[in-house]
Structure 1
Amino acid sequence: MTTVERTEPIELDDAFFENPDGLYRELRVDRPAVRATGPNGLGFWMITRYADARAALNDPRLLKDSRRIPPILERHRASGTERAFTDALVGHMLNADPPDHTRLRKLVSRAFTMRAIARLRPRIEEIATELADAMAAAGPDVDLLDEFAFPLPMAVICEILGVPQDRRDDFRHWSSTLLSHAPDDERAAAAAAMSRFLTDLVADKAANPGEDMLSVIVRASEDGDSLTHGETTAMAFLLLVAGHETTVNLIGNGMAALLRDPAQRAVLAEDPDKIPHAVEEFLRYDGPVDLATFRFTDEPVEIDGITIPADELVLVSLLGANRDPERYAEPERLDVERDASGHLAFGYGIHHCLGAPLARLEADIAFRTLLSRFPDMTLRGEPGPHRISTLINGLTSLPVRLTVG
């Protein structure tokens, strides 16, 4: 396990990614604000306590402006590493502060109303049923990530954004590469390819609008204001990546937890109407995001008596916060009937995930489908290993054996 040294930055190594909770338990007690180094050599400050994390996620002194962060990233980057993301992919609302963030979110939010999301339920149920049918035909041994957890949210987000069927495998490759710690040249190539694809897609939606969500976003306007072509391209990138990566790992991590805990699984099998409540516990217990996206200090910020200087990178540990015993009793125990409200899996404050209702809907349908169709599903070997990513908390495989119900 990664150990805590009192003076040197903590190195987040392979052992950390397999068991981040082991380090977070230690840090919450002794070093709740600590310098760390990621696997790509980037240095940053890491926040692990729930109260500190919640405050940091909504602290106006911790900024996200994509125009100001490049020189800060360069200063804290290890020698020889390069910035992978192209400018065309970073100018979205997750990398903006008010008033820019307010403007961008207002223009996009009309596509994500509760009513618009609820209308998607029949189609998501249809996709989930089709995938379950295909799993049953391919079984009894399958990888649940490859056969269900990935293709469900990918199909959903691509359909509602109007991404052609024949480009979805390309998108999966680009997304996985960008969110990994692959060599810089591979990540840069994936970013460039995705940028070209999305630029062309947005141009097509502008010229040939349809009923899909991306067409709605392209047409969005408010008080004479509208998104530029570049802003729409960056927003499409955010929605496509965030719209499937988080849900893939919400389903994968949640099913892995249930397969390891038959008693908790039995609770949901007996009463499937408890599944929406259980989804909140899956999000708290082993959520799809580990360290939230980059913030930087606009001025010195004090956390638990530790002063983080200005122009420092700060990453908030959502996993660490969600297992803080000061917030949740017995946090390392899965309890699908627990009151998990207040968890930070979707962030907090102005950057709270806009797509959270869609992720919750997909997860509800996914768990209902899997538990009803495959009531005797079992693990076939050990899941994993975990993805090497400070952002994404998820498995690389989830081998299972099916018994069709």
Structure 2
Amino acid sequence: MSDTDGTTVETTDHALVPMHCLKLPEPGPPRRTTLPNGTPVWLITRYGDVRKVLTDARFTRSLLFAPDAPPLTDNLNLGNDPDSMFNKDGQEHLRVRRTIQRAFTPRAIERWRPWVTSVVDGLLDELVRRGAPTDLITGYTLPLPVAVISRLMGMEELRTEQLRHWSEHAFAGAGRDAQDVAVALREFSAFAAELLAERRSSPGDDLVSTLVLTADRNGGIPETQLVNLVCGLVVAGHETTLTVLGNAMLYLLGERPETWARIGSDEEAAGLLADRLLHLIPLGDYGDRPGSLLRTSEDVEVGGVRIRAGEVVAADRSAANRDPEVFPSAAHGSLFAPLEGPTLAFGAGQHYCPGTWLARLQLRLALNRLAARLPDLRLTLPLSAVEWRLGTTTRSPLSLPAAW
């Protein structure tokens, strides 16, 4: 079957449950488990323990790629590239991160609010013009984040079909053909290298221009890392929002329709709900890893368990976000209550997701303005009939037929 943009993806016979129903490990002390390839890892599930692992400099990503590191996965994708900013630690990581962090501060993202609002309203105008029935994925959850990241990166001329093709392969899961992934990544990297060269010679007011000018001025960042960073920003910049928004609407319209009126009448309430959904709904299945993988540089005690130098841990942020010791209402209680503690949905420590504020703004505005414009919106299929976008590290509905 084809994705909403024509990209070929795997689909399912509906055997998979919606992401908000995904069964997660019970939070408890660190315990042994294995990756699909047999490599032993420590599974970390309690909120305090996961937060410690993510913020303690003795837990590293770069050592996952050291010569003596155990094998983790056979999947070739951006997430497993040792050149990625996300797989660097300490000053090497910060040197690259500083080139983009100003573009993603809360103040910077707030300046984008009028423009993001206009994109949302334009998509809603088109939905209403076309009339019911409609597919909320092709008409709303996909074009919104694609438009935003394309404008931010100055790539408005890039076709959505091409962007999605590269994105579907950039963080490919085990279901993707390795040769197809390799070809797509080469094409994607060539595009990013050409884009960097173009902005280096003719800079604009976009993020790529800021990135390349800052990197050239400060020095010390190899071109391969800049290429990898551009690719990572393009994918992560829309993939998370696409995934969360699709899964959120499936949950709200399918199981919590009583919330719809409040979402549309109160943007502040929509913001609280957006934070709660980002916190509760995982982005993907466990696939080839049970959490964020890190490796210890020395012996460390976590939750009363001694983890030896060189061992690998899997920090399960989704399970930690349901830890009843920190989040008593974690089991889908009041969706409009402020979170009882900082969510780990975007990570913590030096690898905290730089796009957090942009994702939150898009989800908040998308839900609020959709519910206000279409207060009687409803899905036209049962949850059990949903087909899924698979083949990547995230999972969300392939389509969401709806009417009003």
In structure 1, give the amino acid aligned to 2:249: M
Gaps of 5+ in 1: 1-13
Q: Structure 1 residue 115: deviation in Å?
A: 3.2
Q: Which amino acid aligns with 2:245?
A: I
Aligned length: 381
Which residue is equivalent to 1:75? 71
- C-alpha distance in 2, partners of 1:149/1:209? 30
Which residue pairs with 2:7 in the alignment? none
Q: Which residue of 1 aligns with 2:61?
A: 64
Q: Which residue of 1 aligns with 2:231?
A: 237
Pick the aligned partner of 2:212 from 208, 211, 218: 218
Greater relative contact order (CA < 8 Å, ≥ 6 in sequence)? 2
Q: Which residue of 1 aligns with 2:356?
A: 356
Task: Report the residue type matching 1:130 in the other structure.
Answer: G
CA RMSD, 1 decimal: 3.0
Residue in 2 that maps onto 1:7: none
Aligned to 1:257: 251
Q: Please show how residues 360-379 of structure 1 align to structure 2 within 5 Å.
A: 360-379=360-379
Q: Distance in 1 between matches of 2:238 and 2:315?
A: 21
Determine if contact 2:153/2:206 at 8 Å carries over to the other structure. Answer: yes
2 CA distance for matches of 1:136 and 1:43? Answer: 53
Query: In 2 relative to 1, CA 354–82 (structure 1 residues): closer, same or farther, beyond 3 Å?
Result: closer
Q: Distance between the aligned counterparts of 1:41 and 1:300, measured in 2?
A: 22
Q: Deviations over 1:340-396 (max 9, x none)?
A: 14111111111111111111111122112211121111122145445557843x313
CA distance in 2, matches of 1:166, 1:105: 25
The structural deviation recorded for 1:198 is: 0.8
Q: What is the SS of the residue equivalent to 1:325?
A: coil
Deviations 1:39-73 (A, max 9, x none): x77764432221211111112121112x7516466
Q: Does 1:33 align with 2:28?
A: no
Work out whether residues 264 and 369 of structure 2, in 8 Å CA contact, stay in contact via their aligned partners in 1. no
Which residue pairs with 1:155 in the alignment? 147
Q: Contact between 1:24 and 1:48, CA under 8 Å: does it hold in 2?
A: no
Identity %: 29
Report SS of the residue matched to 2:134.
strand
Where in structure 2 are there 5+ consecutive unaligned residues?
1-13
Report the equivalent of 1:47: 44
Say yes or no: does 1:271 pair with 2:260: no
The alpha-carbon distance between structure 1 residues 23 and 258, as it changes in their structure 2 partners (threshold 3 A), is closer
Contact kept in structure 2, 1:214 and 1:236, CA below 8 Å: yes
Return the alpha-carbon distance in structure 1 between the equivalents of residues 308 and 196 of structure 2.
40
1:192 offset after TM fit, Å? 1.5
Matches within 5 A, 1:244-323: 244-259=238-253, 260-288=255-283, 293-323=292-322
**Which 10-residue stretch deviates more, 154-163 or 100-109?**
100-109
1:302, distance to aligned residue in structure 2 (A)? 3.8
Provide the C-alpha distance between the structure 2 equivalents of 1:345 and 1:139, rounded to a whole number of angstroms. Answer: 35
Query: TM-score with structure 2 length normalisation?
Result: 0.83
* Preserved contact between residue 47 and residue 315 of structure 1 (Cα < 8 Å): yes
Question: Which residue type is aligned with residue 397 of structure 2?
Answer: T
CA contact (8 A) 2:264 2:367 kept: no
